[in-house]
Amino acid sequence: MNVFGVDIGGSGIKGAPVNLERGDLAEPRHKVLTPHPATPDDVAGCVQEVVSHFGWSGPVGITFPGVVTGGITRTAANVDKGWIDVDARALLGERLGLPVTVLNDADAAGVAEMTFGAGAGRKGTVFLLTFGTGIGSALFIDGTLVPNTELGHLELNGHDAEKHASTKAKEDEDLSWQHWAHRVQKYLAHVEMLFSPELFIIGGGVSRKAEKFLPLIEGVRAEIVPAQLQNNAGIVGAAMAAAAPAP
């Protein structure tokens, strides 16, 4: 069965039909740039463009880079503040004219990785961390998601951790892999101190280059592995959420 997934990020909005038996994209994804400012109306237009590209009619799962409860977006760190307390499910559903499910972006990626990727079959405490415009987090206890953790906003060196250790920080400051890996290491050590996980899964677009920085990370007890679904995990997880029966 194919279901459509859309992943809204701080820099790009991408989507595709997903084969839920394989946990993989059924067709090559379509991506548009995230508008700036990323207002609800402008982002909704971009989501509509991505879905219309495939002529899709059916349920659509959509991720959002912030806390989502009951389809309402509660925070907006890397998109316009106008998203705070918006009924995103209603807004996007009306724009698409289709049934819509909205969830946190890292939670979606985490569910996909725990089902089809690096976390499949893993028990205990597992974190999926996505490094991109910000840092997204998904926490699993014995395979069960604890939603909306948003641990990219933990304080590190007096600032949100994602301002210091995201991929965007690496690019903006032109950091070497060695320098950036040291920052990621400090962030992982902080999360490990708080939660003592058995496994960190590192996702986001940078996971495609895991060999450039994961071997440079030292002093973290937990196992650290790259996401197997890489930057498609959010799309897959969004589609899984759209296909899941309503609670």
20 within some domain: yes
Q: Which residue has the tokens 């038996």?
A: 21
Do the bridges between strand 144-146 and strand 135-141 make them parallel or antiparallel, or are there none, so unpaired?
antiparallel
What was the pLDDT predicted at 9? 93
Rounded Cα distance between 178 and 95, Å, is 44
Contact status, residue 17 vs residue 26, Cβ threshold 8 Å: yes
Collapse the DSSP code of 212 into the 3-class scheme (helix H, G, I; strand E, B; otherwise coil) and give the result: helix
Is the pLDDT confidence value at 77 over 90?
no
- Domain range enclosing 185: 122-228
What was the pLDDT predicted at 247? 56
Structural domain total, the chain: 2
What was the pLDDT predicted at 245? 74
**Domain co-membership, 222 together with 237:** no
Is the pLDDT confidence value at 168 over 70?
yes
The b-or-e profile of 12-31 (16+ CB within 10 A means b, else e) is: bbbbbbbbbeebebbeebbb
What's the mean pLDDT in 178-207? 97
**Domain co-membership, 224 together with 237:** no
Question: Over the stretch 56-73, which tens digit does the pLDDT of each residue have?
Answer: 999 999 999 999 999 999
**Domain co-membership, 137 together with 85:** no
Is the pLDDT confidence value at 157 over 90?
no
**Domain co-membership, 94 together with 164:** no
114 within some domain: no
**Domain co-membership, 137 together with 199:** yes
Is the pLDDT confidence value at 100 over 90?
yes
What was the pLDDT predicted at 84? 98
Rounded Cα distance between 133 and 65, Å, is 10
Mean pLDDT computed over every residue of the chain: 96
**Domain co-membership, 126 together with 205:** yes
Rounded Cα distance between 244 and 74, Å, is 22
Rounded Cα distance between 112 and 118, Å, is 9
Contact status, residue 8 vs residue 60, Cβ threshold 8 Å: no
**Stronger pLDDT, 159 or 210, i.e. the higher one:** 210
- CA atoms within 13 Å, Cβ hemisphere of 216: 16
**Domain co-membership, 78 together with 56:** yes
Q: Which residues contact 76 (CB under 8 A, 6 or more apart)?
A: 65, 66, 82, 83, 84
Q: Which helix (H) or strand (E) holds 171?
A: helix 167-172
What's the mean pLDDT in 46-65? 98
Closest CA to 188 of 209, 147, 218: 218
136 within some domain: yes
What was the pLDDT predicted at 246? 63
Is the pLDDT confidence value at 184 over 60?
yes
> DSSP code of 214?
G
Do the bridges between strand 199-203 and strand 30-33 make them parallel or antiparallel, or are there none, so unpaired?
unpaired
Closest CA to 41 of 73, 88, 105, 85: 88
Question: Over the stretch 106-154, which tens digit does the pLDDT of each residue have?
Answer: 999 999 999 999 999 999 999 999 999 999 999 999 999 999 999 999 9
Question: Over the stretch 210-243, which tens digit does the pLDDT of each residue have?
Answer: 999 999 999 999 999 999 999 999 999 999 999 9
**Domain co-membership, 145 together with 200:** yes
**Domain co-membership, 140 together with 223:** yes
What's the mean pLDDT in 151-167? 94
**Domain co-membership, 162 together with 103:** no
Is the pLDDT confidence value at 91 over 60?
yes
Is the pLDDT confidence value at 74 over 60?
yes
115 within some domain: no
CATH number of 129's domain: 3.30.420.40
What's the mean pLDDT in 79-92? 98
Residue 152 Rama label (left phi>0; alpha psi -120 to 50; beta) = alpha
Rounded Cα distance between 61 and 100, Å, is 6
What was the pLDDT predicted at 89? 98
